[in-house]
Amino acid sequence: MERLNAWNTYDLSMQKKCLDFSEDYKKFLNDCKTEREAINFVVTAAEDAGYEELQRAVASGRTLKPGDKVYMVWMNKSVVLFEIGKRPLEEGLNILGAHIDSPRLDVKQNPLYEDGEMAYLDTHYYGGIKKYHYVANPLALHGVVVKKNGETVELNIGEDEDDPVFFVSDILIHLAQDQMKKTGAEVVEGEDLDLFLGSKPLVIDGETKAGSEGKEPTAKDAVKLAVLKILKDQYDIEEADFESAELEIVPAGKARDAGIDRSMILAYGQDDRVCAYPSLMAQLAVRNPDRTTCTLLVDKEEIGSVGATGMRSHFFENALAEVMNLCGDYSELKLRRALANSDMLSSDVSAGFDPLYASRFDKKNAAIMGHGMVFNKFTGSRGKSGSNDANAEYIAHLRKIFDDADIRTQTAELGRVDAGGGGTIAYILALYGMNVIDSGVAVLNMHAPYEAASKADLYEAYRAYQAFLEKASLRNF
């Protein structure tokens, strides 16, 4: 089955729209390297587009009507947006769902120590990574420190040109004979991914005299104490405050165009922000929809969608109940009908075909870069274990929507059978009985510090998500 490369379908006007959309997306990537930063972006964009915080609408007791727009943030890490449609909610919603967490290193709760007159932060990796990717590269520190008095200190160090950066050291090749004999999973151990923080044993001021006369050897933990003084002076943070901190270590640097033709974007965190961003933009672009539209941007997908901010929690179901109540049409039965009658695109990335590792793919069932948004009928591993497997009727319905809108799509599996596998949030929403299929953007270098995505695929995904929100409705009522 031959498919058109999306670039071949663009005229100059469409190409400009694609490139302009990609520039805005790159800014989003630069500003949103953590879940909290992404939530801040979403809230600003939503309120600029006329969305109201759901809790405010509940507090005011007002009634929602078609065309009204509300959003709800959950614990500053997940968010859901609704635009009320003309049809009753009981008949279902059109839902986009993506995740905004990405693999990284997390700082432990008792992290700061000194060894060899250097200060380090102890870390624990988050999500599926090749641990050797994180050594000998410039890294940035993002996150929040919440103090006992409730004050929140936001940190973002390593992104501005004048900022210092951080790194995890690697053994020099001259002494790496034993290391080079290890498997990829063992080359760098998880407990060795500690972040270099500093090496100066004191803060030098105007009273400090040069020379060794009268000077004493470095006291125990002097470097650590000097680092703590900097944290106190610059950020008003004490060592005990790490206990209530959420600090993430991510690759430093901005999203960049890739290729001499600038056809791709190379950046951290495109799994899954390359789907989250066009989902959000599609939600904001919809006007007066027939069915209620909904976009979910959630946390914790990379570790199984667990916890209060993961898709397995009930925050989405609770938010929908509140919306139905404000529409004057809530009951437990109607809520369950609304969920079961909904249609969803689980907006998550797929593995792009990589000619350098062709043996890991079945090429005719692989996502080709530049060929548009990817349908993954199923994910999982081995015998489709852990997968949502979308039904043929739903896929046919979506094919017609996208073909009618002249949008480039393709189908794929996540590599050759028994080559590995992976999952998304699709199966969790499918538990309600709704139609769900994975539909996203193909990437190269998935879960690496810098992932690559096609600008054309990004733009086709945006077009597809908007068409889905406006047109999808498999069931006839």
Would you give the end-to-end CA distance of the chain in angstroms? Answer: 35
Domain count of the fold of the chain: 2
Mean pLDDT rounded to a whole number for the chain: 94
Strands (E), 130-225: 139-146, 152-157, 195-198
Q: Which residue among 251, 283, 299 closes a domain?
A: 251
**138 and 92 fall within a common domain:** no
Whether residue 203 has pLDDT greater than 80? no
Whether residue 477 has pLDDT greater than 70? no
Query: What pLDDT does 429 receive?
Result: 94
Whether residue 379 has pLDDT greater than 90? no
> Helix (H, G, I), strand (E, B), or coil: what is residue 107?
strand
Mean pLDDT over 20-25 rounds to 98
**123 and 66 fall within a common domain:** no
**If pLDDT is split at 50, 70 and 90, which confidence band does 377 have?**
confident
Mean pLDDT over 328-343 rounds to 96
Q: Which residues constitute the domain of residue 326?
A: 6-102+268-471
79 located within any domain: yes
**189 and 304 fall within a common domain:** no
Whether residue 412 has pLDDT greater than 60? yes
Q: Which residue among 251, 278, 306 closes a domain?
A: 251
**420 and 274 fall within a common domain:** yes
Query: Rounded to an integer, what distance in angstroms lies between the CA atom of residue 377 and that of residue 388?
Result: 8
154 located within any domain: yes
**If pLDDT is split at 50, 70 and 90, which confidence band does 387 have?**
confident
**If pLDDT is split at 50, 70 and 90, which confidence band does 393 have?**
very high
**211 and 351 fall within a common domain:** no
476 located within any domain: no
SS (H, E, C) 390-416: CCHHHHHHHHHHHHHCCCCEEECCCCC
Query: What pLDDT does 147 receive?
Result: 96
Query: What pLDDT does 79 receive?
Result: 98
Query: What pLDDT does 415 receive?
Result: 80
**223 and 302 fall within a common domain:** no
Per the model's pLDDT, the better-predicted residue between 219 and 95 turns out to be 95
Burial zone of 98 (CB within 10 Å; 0-12 exposed, 13-18 middle, 19+ buried): buried
The type of residue at 92 is G
C-alpha pair distances (Å), 444 with each of 96, 165, 275, 360, 454: 23, 26, 14, 13, 9
263 located within any domain: no
Query: What pLDDT does 476 receive?
Result: 56
Q: Which residue among 251, 280, 315 closes a domain?
A: 251
Mean pLDDT over 80-100 rounds to 97
13 located within any domain: yes
Query: What pLDDT does 93 receive?
Result: 97
Per the model's pLDDT, the better-predicted residue between 211 and 236 turns out to be 236
Q: How many helices (H) and strands (E) does the chain have?
A: 10, 22
**354 and 406 fall within a common domain:** yes
**65 and 117 fall within a common domain:** no
The least confident of 58-67, 166-175, 216-225 is 216-225
> pTM for this structure?
0.95
Q: How many residues does the chain have?
A: 477
**71 and 129 fall within a common domain:** no
**330 and 458 fall within a common domain:** yes
Greatest CA span in the chain, whole angstroms?
A: 89
Structure tokens at 463: 């077009």
358 located within any domain: yes
189 located within any domain: yes
CATH number for the domain that contains residue 202 = 2.30.250.10
Non-local (6+) Cβ contacts of 377 within 8 A are: 389, 390, 395, 411, 437, 438
C-alpha pair distances (Å), 40 with each of 7, 56, 74, 160, 257: 33, 18, 12, 19, 25
Mean pLDDT over 286-291 rounds to 94
**137 and 275 fall within a common domain:** no
Mean pLDDT over 268-288 rounds to 96
CATH number for the domain that contains residue 408 = 3.40.630.10
pLDDT tens by residue, 445-466: 999 999 999 999 999 999 999 9
> Helix (H, G, I), strand (E, B), or coil: what is residue 374?
strand
Query: What pLDDT does 207 receive?
Result: 78
256 located within any domain: no
Q: What are phi and psi of 324, to 5 degrees?
A: -65, -35
Query: What pLDDT does 303 receive?
Result: 94
**43 and 144 fall within a common domain:** no
